[in-house]
Amino acid sequence: MGKVAAESAHKALVDTAEKSTVTLTIPCRAEYVVLGRLAVGALGAREGIDEETVADLKVAVTEACACFVTRAGEPAPGDTPPVLRIDFGVAPGTWTITVSNPDRKARIEAGSLCDPLSEGALGLTIMRALVDLVEESDNDEEGTVFRLVKQVRSDSPVAA
């Protein structure tokens, strides 16, 4: 993962008084999903979020990423592999995590996750059980996007 991760994983941090946004772009491959989990853990520790909530968010992010990874497959020789973009919007009391495939190479067709017998249906059910709101969209402009919203509370007061 060393050099490839260093070249492929792009992190941008924008802090404001009320909200932090972290963007992580990784190859759309199973072995890189752990980077999204690590980001959740680091942000959770920074914000003083309880361990159970952090664990729930890690699983939800993993399931959202897995929906794309299972559809991405191996790129053809000479093709650029698909990427995943994970945006972590961290505000007091609310986290919004958006998982998307900006190059639209691992697009998920709108009805495929609604079929209770489909591979992605279990992942969607798990996401819905762990966060307060799951929005899924699919259009020609953005491709497939999962937006996960979770109300959180800090275990410890943050020093002002």
| pLDDT given at position 1 | 45
Residue 85 makes CB contacts below 8 A (sequence gap 6+) with 23, 24, 25, 98, 99, 100, 101, 102
| pLDDT given at position 4 | 40
Q: Which domains are assigned to the chain?
A: 2-151 (3.30.565.10)
Low-confidence ranges of the chain (pLDDT < 70): 1-18, 106-107, 109-120, 155-160
| pLDDT given at position 53 | 95
- pLDDT tens digit string along 23-32? 999 999 889 9
| pLDDT given at position 9 | 38
Total count of residues recorded for the chain: 160
